[in-house]
Amino acid sequence: MRGLEEDFAVKQWVSAIALAALFGMALPASEATPPQAQQSSPPNAPVPNAPTPQEAQPLPGAEGPIIPGKGAGQPTPQGSSTSAPATPAPPPPPPASQPPAQQKDQVQTTPPEEGSGALTRFVVNVNFVEVPVTVKDSKGNPVAGLTFRDFQIYENGRREPLSLFSVDPEPLSVAFVVDQSLPSNIMEKVNDSLGAIQGALTSYDEAALFTYSNGSKEWTGFTGAQSARLPAVLSLAQATGTDPMVPINTGPLAGCPVYVNGNCADPNIQPGRSAGNQTFITIPKEIHTLNDAILAAAKELSTRPKDRRRIIYVVSDGKEYGSKATWREVVRYLQTNKTAVYATLVGDSARWGQGWIDRLHLPFTMYDNILYKYTALTGGDMDAEGGVNGIEKSYAKIAEEARYQYTLGYLSHESIYDAKYRSIDVRVDRPNLEVIAKPGYYPSAQDYR
């Protein structure tokens, strides 16, 4: 009978647990223990296969109770004011020394101070000079195949060992400067040739466009040489030119031929003041602001990266008058910023013989041709053309010459704090060759590396 009663009690206990799980109810402590455990287990007996209870270890460095808003510390004794400052907790004990295996895996989280071995900084000021060189034979054709052994370079009369020699073509940054004060017949030829400019450049090049007559104008900044923007801007920049006439400033025909409302139709020959009177008429001077246009193009070029070859390409007859900047100031700016001037000479200065005579300058008169000074003092080149076909060919010829140059580099022996002009002399150990390079430069802070 006792075994049946125990089986019946176990069945009741199982049924109670099932009902409690189904309805989410909690069983009393007397019912939650099987009948066998209630009868056979002594009081306060440990549960079989259960872990021994462990006391919670205190946090390192947090002795005492944790008070909200104050952190951990020593308990405040009874009877003391809560506003009194709490006694600071004693410093935590130093951590035990770790075994060598754990110390090896530690990584330093705080950066070392500057001056330590890992972050020692060495500053070396070096004045590196780069000189593009063009070599031509007696017929004016470029000479290829030269090596670094064929070149000698001197700065201020002292030979410098070459630190760089390269024959690789470089991308060009070309600022085109077009003269719009040309005679109308010459201006028409220049307008017809402008479409060939894009064909002389590659997709790695970039170009900007400037024009000038009485003042300079920038039509576009540097844009891709093969983009659709460049030919559109070139077509917009075309001008009609000027129609100069033979002036008459003395004799009975001098003066104003046509009057409108008591005033001369042409204000340039209006009698009185600077124009003179009926006896002697002062001829108005022509304005050709070539210096200002080249300076504006050079300022735009100075922002281009150093790994690009900076070129100013001028299409003009070389006349200069009325600029605010002098040619000496502009040349110094070009030599400081590593900019070379190339030109296609057109008009009267492009004629054989007359181009050499135009280089002569009389005091207090207009410069008839000043382009040869820019090309000679910056390491560029100049080509004189009269027809449209010749002007178009000069674009490709000069662009190829500027791209495929010998690049020489050396470390200057002069002080980096000396801003005086330094002369350069490049020589080639072969006969009957013409060497075209800049004759000197002005150092700048951009050269310090």
Give the Cα separation of 205 and 100 in Å (integer): 62
pLDDT for 52: 72
Structural domain boundaries enclosing 353: 170-243+286-403
Query: With contact defined as beta carbons under 8 Å apart, do 355 and 147 qualify?
Result: no
* Domain-located, residue 54: no
Tell me which of 85-89, 139-143, 209-213, 269-273 is least confident. Answer: 85-89
Give the Cα separation of 340 and 407 in Å (integer): 14
* Domain-located, residue 184: yes
pLDDT for 242: 86
The pair of three-digit structure tokens given for residue 272, joined into one six-digit string: 């009185």
Average pLDDT over residues 64-70: 62
pLDDT for 104: 47
Number of domains in the chain: 2
* Domain-located, residue 329: yes
* Domain-located, residue 228: yes
pLDDT tens string 86-121: 555 566 665 555 555 455 445 555 655 655 555 556
Shared domain for 278 and 190, answered yes or no, is no
pLDDT above 50 for 243:
yes
**CATH number of the CATH domain containing 237:** 3.40.50.410
What strands, in cross-sheet order, belong to the sheet with 215-224?
A: 215-224, 206-213, 172-179, 309-316, 339-345, 382-384
Shared domain for 353 and 204, answered yes or no, is yes
pLDDT above 70 for 197:
yes
CA distances from 370 to 74, 248, 316, 326, 373 (A): 92, 27, 10, 11, 6
Shared domain for 260 and 389, answered yes or no, is no
- Vertex 8, ends 6 and 9: CA angle to 5°? 65
* Domain-located, residue 20: no
Query: With contact defined as beta carbons under 8 Å apart, do 309 and 173 qualify?
Result: yes
Angle between helices 290-301 and 327-336 (to 10 degrees): 20
Which band of pLDDT confidence, cut at 50, 70 and 90, is reported for residue 151? very high
Other C-beta atoms closer than 10 Å to the C-beta of 20 total: 14
Query: With contact defined as beta carbons under 8 Å apart, do 285 and 321 qualify?
Result: yes
Average pLDDT over residues 419-440: 93
Q: Which of 256, 285, 314 is the last residue of a domain?
A: 285
Tell me which of 18-27, 157-166, 313-322 is least confident. Answer: 18-27
Shared domain for 231 and 295, answered yes or no, is yes
pLDDT for 421: 93
pLDDT tens string 277-305: 655 556 667 889 999 999 999 999 999 98
Shared domain for 249 and 365, answered yes or no, is no
DSSP run (H or E) holding 440: strand 440-441
pLDDT for 275: 57
Tell me which of 241-250, 273-282, 401-410, 440-449 is least confident. Answer: 273-282
Shared domain for 199 and 329, answered yes or no, is yes
Shared domain for 254 and 380, answered yes or no, is no
Q: Which of 367, 387, 403 is the last residue of a domain?
A: 403
Which band of pLDDT confidence, cut at 50, 70 and 90, is reported for residue 34? low
Shared domain for 190 and 272, answered yes or no, is no
Shared domain for 235 and 306, answered yes or no, is yes
Shared domain for 280 and 398, answered yes or no, is no
The pair of three-digit structure tokens given for residue 181, joined into one six-digit string: 């004060």
Q: Is the pTM of this model over 0.75?
A: no
What residue ranges in 54-101 does DSSP mark as E strands?
66-67, 71-72
Shared domain for 357 and 305, answered yes or no, is yes
* Domain-located, residue 431: no
- Cα 340 to chain centroid, rounded: 19
pLDDT above 60 for 75:
no
Query: With contact defined as beta carbons under 8 Å apart, do 208 and 345 qualify?
Result: no
Shared domain for 318 and 224, answered yes or no, is yes
* Domain-located, residue 43: no
The pair of three-digit structure tokens given for residue 190, joined into one six-digit string: 């220049």
* Domain-located, residue 147: no
pLDDT for 109: 58
Give the Cα separation of 334 and 374 in Å (integer): 9
Average pLDDT over residues 407-435: 91
